[in-house]
Amino acid sequence: MQKQNPTVDQLINLARKNEEIASKLFEIEVEIMNVLNGTDFFEKLLKTVQESFNIDNVWLCLTEKTIKTQLAALFKAPDMPLHRAYICNTVDFLRVTKSCREPILVNSNLSFYKALVPAVIWPEVRSLAVLPLIVDGQLIGSLNFASEDDCRYEPSKDHFFLRQLAVKASICLSSVIAHERVSFLATRDSLTLLKNRREMEESLEKEISRCRRHNYDIAVLFIDCDDFKLVNDTYGHDCGDAYLKYVADNLTDMIRKGDTAFRFAGDEFVIILPNLARPGAEKIAQRIREHLQNTPLRNQDYSIPVHISFGAASSNELRELNSKNLLKEADARLYDMKELKPSKKMLEYLREKTQQPSSQDPVPGKH
C-alpha cells in the first residue's frame, strides 16, 4: 500500500511542534550557558530539561575516569540525590554505549543498559534515551531520560533535537570545566593542589570571626618537613616534588572533615582546625607524624623516610586573638620542636657517651 503524503495541515502542525521544541532548546541553552559553577550547572541543566519537556526521570551518568581526571579537584561529584547524578564504571559505560557519540533510543532489551541506570529508577524504566556528553573530544558520560511509556523513546524516532541538546549541553559543560579549572588553580598550590597561602589567610580570618561569634575554639598546626632539603639534594627535584605531594596527600587524608590543609611555603604546611583546642590539635599532628614515619615514600627503587615537626596553637591561649598571633605562636612551637630534635651527630655523640662514661661523671651516692 502506497504511503500517503502528509496534508498541509499536518505539515503546519509538525512545523509548529518543531518550532516549539527549538524554542525550548534555546531557552535551556540561555538558562545554562551563563552558569559557571559545576554543581549549579548540573542542577540547572537537569531541572530545566525535565520541566521543559515533562520527562519522568532525568539524570547524569558520569564515568569514574571522568571524576578522576576531567572533574578531579575542580568540583565534587554533583551534590544531588543519587537518582540525579550517577557514577558509572568506565568500562561498563563504554561497553553499554559502544562509545557511541550519537543519542541512543531504546525500548527493548533494557537489561543491557541497566549499568547506566540508578537502582531507584530502574523499576520504572520502559524506554530510555542516552545523550552523549563530550568534552575536549572525550566521551565523559551521558545525559539520560527514562519514561514509563515504552513508546516515548522508540528507536525509530528522529534524533535531531536530542542531538542538538547533547551538543549544547557538552559545549556549556566544557565552558564550566574551563572556568572551574582557572578558578581552582587561582586558589591552589600547583604542585600539591592544596589551597595556597592567600587562601589560608582568608580562611583563617573567617574561622576566627566565626569562633568569636559562636564562642568556640580554633586551633592551627604549623608543619615543617625535617629532611626535605636532604631528600631534594640526594634524590633530585622530581623526588622532592613527589615527597611534598606525598606529605600533602597524607595531611588531607588524616585530618577531620571540617579541617583544611594548606601549603604555606616551600616545605611548610598549615592546618586550620575549627572547634578544637591545642591538645586535640597536637594529637592529630602526632598521629600524622607517626603515620608518615611508619610509611615511607616509595619513589622508583627507593624507600624514603618522611619526618615532620609541628607546632600547635589555639585561640583560648591568646590574649589578643588574630590570625597573625595564632600563626606566630604555632610557628614558635614548631621551631621549639625542631630545636629539641637531636641531630645525627648528636645521637652518635650520645651513644658514645653511654658506652664510655666520663671520669668527670659524679659517683653514685656522692654529692
pLDDT in tens, 320-351: 999 999 999 999 999 999 887 654 443 444 44
Contacts of 56 (CB under 8 A, 6+ apart): 124, 145, 146, 147, 148
Claim to verify: residue 239 and residue 177 sit in the same structural domain: no
pTM over 0.75: no
Domain that holds residue 112: 13-187
Starting at the edge strand found earlier in the chain, the sheet holding 218-225 runs: 260-265, 268-274, 218-225, 308-314
| pLDDT tens sequence across 39-76 | 788 888 888 888 888 999 999 888 888 776 666 544 44
Specify the CATH number for the domain of residue 303: 3.30.70.270
Claim to verify: residue 159 and residue 292 sit in the same structural domain: no
Read off the C-alpha cell for 286. Answer: 602526632
Alpha carbon 116 to chain centroid, angstroms: 23
Q: Give the number of other CB atoms < 10 A from CB of residue 133.
A: 22
Mean pLDDT of the chain: 84
Claim to verify: residue 108 and residue 244 sit in the same structural domain: no
Claim to verify: residue 122 and residue 244 sit in the same structural domain: no
Claim to verify: residue 23 and residue 161 sit in the same structural domain: yes
| pLDDT tens sequence across 82-93 | 346 678 889 999
Contacts of 305 (CB under 8 A, 6+ apart): 227, 293, 296, 297
Claim to verify: residue 207 and residue 174 sit in the same structural domain: no
pLDDT over 70 percentage in the chain:
85
Claim to verify: residue 204 and residue 74 sit in the same structural domain: no
